[in-house]
Each structure stands twice: as structure tokens, then as C-alpha cells.
Amino acid sequence: MEPAYNIPSRRTVTRLIETQYGERKEELFKKLATAENCWTALTAESYLTICTVCHYIGGDWEMNSAVLLTESLPGRHTADCLAEKSNGAVEQWGIEGRVIACVHDNAANIVAANRPTRVSWVSVACFAHTLQLAINDGFALYLNRVISAAGKLVGHFNYSTVASKALQKKASQATGLYNRQRWAVAAVLSDRTVTKLQDARILELKDEYWQLMEETQPVLRTLKCAPTVMSAEKDVSISNTYPITFRLINAHLMRKEGDGPKVIEFKTKVRSSLSTRMNVQSAEFVSSAPMLSAMLDPRHKHLGFLTPAQRVVADAKSVELGEAVETRRLWSRQTLEPPPSSPAAAAAAAAATQASAMALLLGEQYSTQLDTGIDTDINNFLRDTPPTPGLQPYRLVESEWKKVPQAGKVGATIPLLPRNFGPVRAGGLTVTRLRSRLTPEHVNMLIFLNRNL
């Protein structure tokens, strides 16, 4: 638009991208959990994006996330290939042993690639994808036919501007949402000046379809809220996973008065599928990372969704983890102690001698120290009244863990992981037909800068 503007050359743009990539990369060596996703560019070249959620909280206690790298996957997407790429990415960034978990979808190859035999981190399935699979199991009973028929009807009105205008006009003449939708559609389809008879016969929905849509609308609206809440960009903790799962299973998907037989069957199927996919009937889930994260989240620490026996197991697991953290801390302190000949060691010895002399004068029982061990601290943390669930966890964690430092040390080892991997897909938009000449290396740099600057 500006004739005097000189467009930078390809070499200049490439140099700027590479420079910014190097500078930003140096800033992201933080403690990470990973989420990975495979996608295909419009040029039919396959890529693997490793999206990392950096576990650093800024001065304003806000979560930050970043994409590490995007690599070309020319071969088959086997579990061994994906695991090799993931391990290579971790090695390339120098974070071996520091990656806590990887969030992924439920595809068989991705799940297999993140098994303990191939990687060193915890495998966490995307909650939104798991919930969608459970809902699809419920759709398969009756609603798939309704969705297919409704999709054709919506497509007809989107394609025909005449039909769309007629629908808007008819809808404004009726009252009530359900009656307005049904009456307006029927009126437009029966108008031969707008819709052909042949099209009307194909598009017209059966009465049972309209009734089923009306009956399932409340439960579908609730199910829609779950992934919306879980996908909040600034709240990534998986501590919400099991509280929401149990609330869906024990409340929203339970039979209610007035539910029709098909709605009851839909709820039963989704509830059963979700229970199976989230392993809520197994003994292992109580000691899983999402459960421990929920236990150490001030909003969910009461664990009201668990049975008393399950709460006992979860409490024992948290104490066990705390003891392991304390053991590692003591070992680290011993390895970092200065040699006896150093000035620091001499000063420490003098302080110890002075303390011993004071104890000798006043007596060993002069002061009584309360038991503030791991188990006591965690029990005190769990007994406090939980805050409002709608609050952000990070500021709560800051204030709550200051009261119980031992529980804070345990909480620091439990990842505030992303529950969903969906945002990674946006990277595919960077590679279009107009950018088909980009090398995989520069695709990686562009997506990195697009998501991290």
C-alpha cells in the first residue's frame, strides 16, 4: 500500500525469525509438563507439535504456557516413532528428568507412545477428549440419527438465502423458543415458493426427533459446560478433573423425574462410559496424579466426592509422597554441605556449640516444640475450610501453603498440568498453501514465535 516501503528480502526475514527464535528459546528453560498433538499441513506434510505448559507463575500469579517445537513426521505415526520424537525433544531442550507428564488424546498410538516402557513421564489423557468419547457412546443409541437429520436441515438453510430469510420472518411471528423453532421450520418447508416438495420430504424432521431434542437439551447443555470450564486458558490444573467427573456421574447424569426413556438410556450410557474411561471403579485412580492434585488444591481438598475408604488411601498416598520429598530434601542438603575446612563450616560449628551451651544452661525441656511433621501438616491443611470453587487456584495455593509449609513442599511436586491439548491445533494454521515452500525447521520457528511472543 505504501510505494516507498521496501519489503524485506527472504534472507532478512529468515535471519530475524532465527534470531528471535534463539532469544525466546533461552527464556523457556523452566519446569515443564508436555502436551503433544499430530496434525497434517495442507501440503500433506505431517508434523508433531510438542506444546509445553511451563510451570512458572508470574508476579501476578498468572499461569504462562509456551510451545517448544514442531517437527516433521515423514514416516508412519507408530508408538515407537512418536516416543522417539518426544524423547528427542526433551533431550534437545535439556530437560531430561524434569518433565512431569504429557497430556494427549486417546488415540491408540499416542497412548502407547506414552507408556512407562517408552518414556519417563506420567501419561495423562485429555479430559475433554475422554468426555467427548463418552458422549459419543450415548449419541450412538438414538441421537446420531437426530443429529444427522438436523445437520441436513441446517445445511439447507445455510445454503439457501431465500429459505434463511423466510425462516427468520416466520420465527419472529411465534412465541416460545421450542415452538418458534419447530413452527417456523415447518412453515418454511411447507411453503412451495421457498422449498421444493422433494426437498421438504427429505429435510422435514420427525415429531419424535423434535421431542428428543427438547428432552436432551438440559443434559447436553450441562455436558457442554464441562469442557468449557476445563479449557480455561489461565487455569490449567488437572485438580478439577475428578471433582467434575464425579459430579457428572453422581448428579447431572442421574435419572431425574420427568426424563423420558430415551433420555434415561442416554444418561446411563454416558455415565457408564465415562466411569470406565476415567477408571473411577479401580483402586489405582485414587493415587494418580490428578487425584493427588485435587487433594492438594485448596478448593477440593475435602475430597467430598470420594468414599471414606478412598479418602484414607488418598491421605496415606499424600503422606508417603511427602516423606519421599523430605528424604530428597535432606539428601540434597547433605550433598551441598560445605567441607569441614571451609569458613562456612567453621561458622556453623560455632553456632551449634553456642546452641548446645544454651541448652545445657536452660535444660533440654525448656521449650516444647510442636510436632510439625509431614502427616501433621497435611492433616492441618485438609481440616481447613475449603475456599469457593470458582476462585483461581494459584493465589489460593500461595496463601494456603504458607500456613502448612510441609504440604506446600508436597504440592510443589504435583503438577498443575493442562487437562486438554486442544490449543496445539492452532499451530497448523501457520502452514498454508501459500507457505508450502517453508522447510520443517522454519515451520518449527514460525509456530514457536507465533505461540510464544
CATH code of the domain in which 120 resides: 3.30.420
Residue 368: band (very low, low, confident or very high) from pLDDT cuts 50, 70, 90? very low
Contacts of 355 by beta carbon, 8 Å cutoff, 6+ apart? none
Highest mean pLDDT among 209-213, 216-220, 333-337: 216-220
CB-neighbour burial class of residue 102 (10 A; exposed 0-12, middle 13-18, buried 19+): buried
Is the model's pLDDT at 118 over the cut of 90? yes
Percent of the chain with pLDDT over 90: 12
Identify whether residues 140 and 265 lie together within a single domain: yes
Question: Residue 100's closest CA among 90, 112, 108, 85?
Answer: 90
**What is the Cα–Cα distance from 109 to 416, expressed in whole angstroms?**
25
What pLDDT band is residue 340 in, cutting at 50, 70 and 90? low
Q: Is residue 147 a part of any domain in this protein?
A: yes
Say what the pTM is. 0.69
Residue 59 lies in a domain: yes
Residues 257 and 305 in one domain: no
Cβ–Cβ under 8 Å, residues 381 and 403? yes
Report percent pLDDT > 70 for the chain.
51
229 found inside a domain: yes
Boundary (domain end) residue, out of 281, 296, 325: 281
Higher pLDDT, 199 or 49: 199
pLDDT, mean of residues 202-228? 83
Q: How far apart are CA 329 and CA 68, in angstroms?
A: 30
> Is the same domain home to 292 and 403?
yes
The contacts of residue 134 (CB under 8 Å, 6+ apart) are 270, 273, 274, 277
Lowest mean pLDDT: which of 217-221, 262-266, 414-418?
414-418
Amino acid 433: pLDDT: 46
On whether residue 94 sits in a domain, the answer given is yes
- 245 with 317, same domain: the answer is no
Using DSSP, state whether 109 is helix, strand or coil: helix
pLDDT digits (tens, 9 = 90+) for 407-433: 555 555 554 555 555 444 444 444 444
Is residue 191 domain-shared with residue 292, that is, in the same domain?
no
Supply the range of the domain harboring residue 358.
287-335+345-413
Q: How confident is the model at residue 267 (pLDDT cuts 50, 70, 90)?
A: very high
Q: How many domains does the chain have?
A: 3
Q: Cell for 245?
A: 467427573
**Average confidence score pLDDT of the chain:** 70
What pLDDT is stored for residue 430 in this prediction? 43
Residue 1 located in a structural domain = no
Residue 2 lies in a domain: no
Asked if 111 and 221 sit in the same domain, the reply is no
